[in-house]
Amino acid sequence: MKQFIQDLPKVELHLHIEGTLEPELMFELAARNNIEIPFNSFAEVKDAYDFHNLQSFLDIYYQGANVLITEQDFFDLTWAYLLRCKNDNVVHTEVFFDPQTHTDRGISFDTVVNGIDKALTKAAEEFNISSQLIMCFLRHLDEESAFITLEQALAHKDKIIAVGLDSSENGNPASKFERVFEKSLSEGFLTVAHAGEEGPASSIRDALELLKITRIDHGVRCSDDDHFVEELAKLRTPLTVCPLSNIKLKVFEEMSEHNIVELLRKGVCVTINSDDPAYFGGYMTDNFMAVGEAHMMTKVEIAQFTFNAIEASFISELEKKRLF
Ligand code: ES4
Ligand code: ZN
């Protein structure tokens, strides 16, 4: 099974580029940019990555991003992730970035997007890995900040396919971003949103109805409502599920209790993704392996995760035919 999963072509749809910052690169960039970090060794970093919920992770994740300063830093970060993609046979990836995490520290939007984009372009040329870029609004910040961020993105429409919504779900309802998503849609961006990670099934419904999203990031708590699961299956609404993330952040106690295989068998368009792999213990192959080891599945079922991801991706129909 290990070899089958390793060789399987994969499509990643839920990956925060800031979440690919491995401790080695964090130390390297801290030294390069003269930034203080609160860790003295890799062991101290690993000890700190012991999360009990989403917020305890986010606090450390935003702190880690402080070492990213120059366009070269964003390039190096993205390139390191793309080398992992090559290794895991990821043939297409749709990458999230959080501009506000950087612009709030005085780093320009252009520095961030250009560094990431240059690495994505190079990977297309050298590794034949295709990609899209998705700009996320931080839901713990206010609507005005999201509107300013959208304004900054307009000059980069050629590089950004969609907007998303991430960070703390509880206490920050989708309704707070209804107007900024409406404006994003009118500017031609597609929309996605994190929902139903820690929040209830109703939070997923809100994201679908108020933000007109094309797919749901996480969405695993849809299982609290059987009727809703049937609806999602019927409509083939995609869920970008992140198995190792869900275990690390205690959304499920153990992988054997994860509902992804049950949802797959009910006909929901579930996909496997790595979320913040440097923090959660693994990239795409690791996530597939973790699910495959905890659940009895046929090869056809495992491959269905890739077929679902192709279906859910923002690759054009023409391009899908060419690629697959
Ligand atoms: C995230 Cl796992 C998760 N959930 C919500 N927001 C995020 N940003 C980065 N990782
Ligand atoms: Zn995420």
Tokens (6 digits) for 260: 């992804």
- Range 2-313: architecture per CATH: Alpha-Beta Barrel (3.20)
**Closest Cα to atom 5, ligand 1: which residue?**
167
Catalytic residue among 18, 94, 197, 198: 197
Residue 182: CB partners within 8 Å, gap ≥ 6? 212
Whether this prediction's pTM lies above 0.90 is answered by yes
Atom from ligand 1 closest to the CA of residue 242: 2
Residue 207 CA, chain-centre distance (Å), reads 16
Q: What is the pLDDT along the chain (324 residues), one digit of tens a residue?
A: 999 999 999 999 999 999 999 999 999 999 999 999 999 999 999 899 999 999 999 999 999 999 999 999 999 999 999 999 999 999 999 999 999 999 999 999 999 999 999 999 999 999 999 999 999 999 999 999 999 999 999 999 999 999 999 999 999 999 999 999 999 999 999 999 999 999 999 999 999 999 999 999 999 999 999 999 999 999 999 999 999 999 999 999 999 999 999 999 999 999 999 999 999 999 999 999 999 999 999 999 999 999 999 999 999 988 887 666
Mutate which of 21, 166, 216, 273 for ligand 1 pocket (most atoms within 8 A of beta carbon): 166
What is the C-alpha radius of gyration for the chain, rounded to an integer number of angstroms?
18
Q: Is residue 274 within 6 Å of ligand 1 at its C-beta?
A: no
210-224 as b/e, with b when 16 or more CB fall inside 10 Å?
Answer: bbebebbbbbbbbbe
Tokens (6 digits) for 153: 């993105």
Distance 260 CA to ligand 2 centre (A): 16
CB 112 within 8 A of CB 74: yes
CB 141 within 8 A of CB 148: no
Note if 197 is an active site residue. yes
Q: Is residue 203 within 6 Å of ligand 1 at its C-beta?
A: no
Q: In DSSP terms, which residues pair with 96 in a beta bridge?
A: 16, 134
**Closest Cα to atom 1, ligand 1: which residue?**
167
80-94 pLDDT tens trace: 999 999 999 999 999
Q: Is residue 275 within 6 Å of ligand 1 at its C-beta?
A: yes
Q: Is residue 313 within 6 Å of ligand 1 at its C-beta?
A: no
